[in-house]
Structure 1
Amino acid sequence: MTTHDIHETTAPHPQRWRILGFLGIAQLMLILDVTVVAIALPHMETDLGLSRAAVTWTVSAYTLTFGGLMLLGGRIADLVGAKRVVLTGLLVFTGASLLTGLAGSAEMVVSGRIGQGVGAALLSPAALSLVVTLFDGDDRNKALGVWSALGGGGAALGVLLGGLITGGPGWPWVFFINVPIGLLIFAALAVMLPAGVGMRPRPRLDFVGALLVTGASTALIYALIQAGDHGWLTTVTGGLVLFALIGYVAFAGWQKRARSPLMDVALLARRPVTTGAFLILMATALMVAVFFLGTFYFQHARGYGAMRTGLLFLPVAVATMAGANLTGRILGRFGARPLAVVALLIAAAGMTVPALTMQPVAVTVGIAVAGAGTGALFVIASATALGQVAPQEAGIASGIVSTFHEFGASIGAAVVSSVATVSLVGDSLDGFRDGFLVAAFAAAGAAVVAGLLTPAARHPAG
């Protein structure tokens, strides 16, 4: 397959920028739903009587399903056309959002979040495929720049919106708001999108690969959640981790045999892609740790309302976007390796502040500093993973990075939830302090790994 087979060769679609606007709003909705629930979680916990595990699964069920099925969603888009998959994903996500908002039990909440994850896994890769297909040359670079910016700012914006919505009409509207927006986008895209765009027939869908990687990841997340209640060095925890490792090995082996593999495992053997995947996993895990610990600290330990908590995350949002913006400007000058190390050390320093003193001002400043580090890391991770792949490999490389993004969110929520158990179920601040401390050590350790793993900058020729 040549690069000309991948992109349309016809004249640019006259409504491509308007289509990008609607696709961008849809993608923002998916990104927001990773963090918009952070502020709502304590209220959902109280109203629905959720256990700590159920609270964690409210985050992890979405991100795990989203990440585990994303590559399969991209393959389905190749087979039947991106337009059909985008519209189907929108309907599934919108319906699942309605179900989650109407939930009256933990089972309904988690089921709704799984449904949202399935819709997101269909929608996101198909939408990105449309962006790549509808744009060409400099316009494509501009469009992809807009797309990337949504990921950096969307997560931080989600906490702000979550506070305003939860403090206003109430937590169900965190999910209900997706319904009119989703239906509006569906109606617009159904009319504007050309039929058959992005369709590239493949022999079959790799359902076995999707089952293996999602099952292994579910076992790993469940092990991390269970550790908070039953201990980290127990037979159950160890058995689940072993099961997950076996699942990942089986997935890698299957990908080498499958006729139409879900993932080109050989790409992960390339140093830039491996580094990018590691950095995006760490960035997302640390970001979710900040939001999870911060929102429960302000609302559970300090008794702040949802709206006040959301406003306290305003400097976090600004710092996150500022870190991403500054890094994008200087990345070409300094290279990925030193900036990755610095970004992770900044995140570690930020996490250390609330670990040392659990005063509200210190926590706010600390998580804002950590946000600046994670915002920078998102840009570095994407540039590292995608900067040296061939054009025909960009789609699958993007899928790998996006998958690790969602798995990082799942792991971050599971780990900090387990470490902070004593504070989530009681009145002690020790759990929050331990959570921030573990995040700080993880960021510092990742800085060492990044310094060793990240490829050195290549100087442009001439």
Structure 2
Amino acid sequence: MEEKENLVEVDLERKEKFGIILPIVLISYFLILLNNSLIFTSTVKISAELQMNNLMVAWISNAYALTFGGFLAFSAKLGDIIERKKSLLTGLVIFSLASLLVGMSQSATMIISMRALQGIGASLLAPATLALLMDNYQGEQLTRAIAYYGATAGIGSSLGMIIGGLIASYMSWRAGFYLDLIVGIILIVMSILGITNQKATHGAKIDWWGTITSVIGFSGLVYSLNGSSYRLVAFIVSIVTLK
């Protein structure tokens, strides 16, 4: 009887362990939060070094928001088709490469374009991380994992602002995006080694027309909130395409 009880206790302990999936998810989420904090705290230095006016500076954030919002639904569906691991790795590669290129930017055009690319990477990361939680945890363990995910939003935002502020004050603004690259590479290695048995949804197909209208609709909606001109037109386009 004692041996059976011990086996049950060991089994329960194993079930309570989160393994490597949760750290990958939380660090990935923190990476996105840190990136946004770096932009917020480095705006003055970026605009001065790259000689950007207020409109150009606004597009550093707008370009990211447009691609992130526009491709989010498509990226979530793509994760179902090609499996979570591939979707996560694709997002990490795109995001890390874009971070490197943001840090190397020598013009307004380049940094805005690379921020748009970062948005695409983040649109793959966000749904993939949540899907990994749902796929790998159940019951009370899933509840705790989601609680940790939510806590990361608050703690990550505050910590990201502190890190971003320190980098902006004592180092080049570029260093923060090179830090993004390093964290991204670490996550890629962790994901390759730690995520296994992620199955795709067989028979699922991408609705290309729905995808195109979704990208246009969500991009128009984001632009109607953050854009500088033709905001009403963008809002009308978003309403029409999202119907």
TM-score of the superposed pair, with normalisation by structure 1 = 0.47
Give the unaligned 5+ runs of structure 1: 1-11, 226-236, 254-462
Instruction: Tell me: higher relative CO, structure 1 or 2? Use CA pairs within 8 A at least 6 residues apart.
Output: 2
Q: How does 1:142-161 map to 2 (within 5 A)?
A: 142-161=144-163
Structure 1 pair 88/41, CA: closer, same or farther in 2 (3 Å)? same
Of 202, 216, 222, the match for 1:212? 216
Does 1:123 find its partner at 2:125?
Answer: yes
Secondary structure at 2:105 match in 1: coil
How far the C-alpha of 1:118 sits from its partner, in A, is 0.4
| Structure 1 residue 14 displacement after superposition | 9.3
Match of 2:79 among 77, 80, 87: 77
Aligned match of 2:59: 57
Shift of 1:41: 0.5
Partner of 2:4: none
Residue in 2 aligned with 1:241? 231
> Contact 2:65/2:222 (CA < 8 Å) preserved in 1?
no
Shift of 1:208: 1.7
1:346-361 map, 5 Å: none
Q: In the aligned structure 2, how far is the partner of 1:151 from the partner of 1:199?
A: 29
CA distance in 2, matches of 1:15, 1:79: 28
Deviations 1:94-120 (A, max 9, x none): 000000000011011101111111000
| Paired-residue identity, % | 25
Q: Hey, what does 2:7 align to over in structure 1?
A: none
**SS in structure 2 at match of 1:204:** coil
Deviations 1:163-220 (A, max 9, x none): 1112233100111101111111101111111143364642324322332223413542
Residue among 177, 196, 199 paired with 1:197? 199
How far apart are the structure 2 equivalents of 1:137 and 1:200? 26
Relative to 1, partners in 2 of residues 1:127 and 1:107: Cα closer, same or farther, differing over 3 Å?
A: same
In the aligned structure 1, how far is the partner of 2:157 from the partner of 2:138?
A: 28
Distance 1:31 1:67, change over 3 A: farther
What is the distance in 2 between the residues matched to 1:36 and 1:220?
A: 24
Give the Å deviation of 1:144: 0.5
Equivalent position amino acid for 2:44 in 1: P
Q: Does 1:19 align with 2:21?
A: yes
Alignment of 1:279-318 (within 5 A): none
Return 5+ residue gaps in structure 2 as ranges: 1-13
Give the secondary structure class of the aligned counterpart of 1:203: coil
1:134 corresponding residue in structure 2: 136
Cα separation, partners in 2 of 1:59 and 1:242, compared to 1, 3 Å: closer
- The SS at the match of 2:19 is helix
Aligned AA (2:177): F
Give the Cα separation in 2 of the matches to 1:15 and 1:186. 22
**Match of residue 96, structure 1, among 95, 98, 101:** 98
Tell me by how many angstroms 1:222 deviates: 5.9
- How many residues in Structure 1 have an aligned counterpart in Structure 2? 228
Partners of 2:86 and 2:180 in 1: how far apart?
A: 20
Question: What secondary structure is seen at the aligned counterpart in 2 of 1:57?
Answer: helix
Quote the residue 2:240 is aligned against.
250
Residues 15-45 of structure 1: CA distance to partner in whole angstroms, max 9, x if unpaired? 7432211221011111222222211110111
Q: Please tell me the residue identity of whatever aligns with 1:117.
A: G
In structure 2, distance between residues paired with 1:66 and 1:55 = 18
The answer as to whether partners of 2:78 and 2:87 remain within 8 angstroms in 1 is yes
Contact 2:67 2:219 in 1 (8 A): no
Equivalent residues of 1:35, 1:159 under 8 A apart: yes
Q: 1:184 to 1:13 in 2, by over 3 A?
A: farther
Deviation at 1:221, TM superposition (A): 4.5
Pick closer, same or farther for the CA change 1:167–1:110 going to 2, 3 Å. Answer: same
| 8 A contact 2:92–2:125 mirrored in 1 | yes
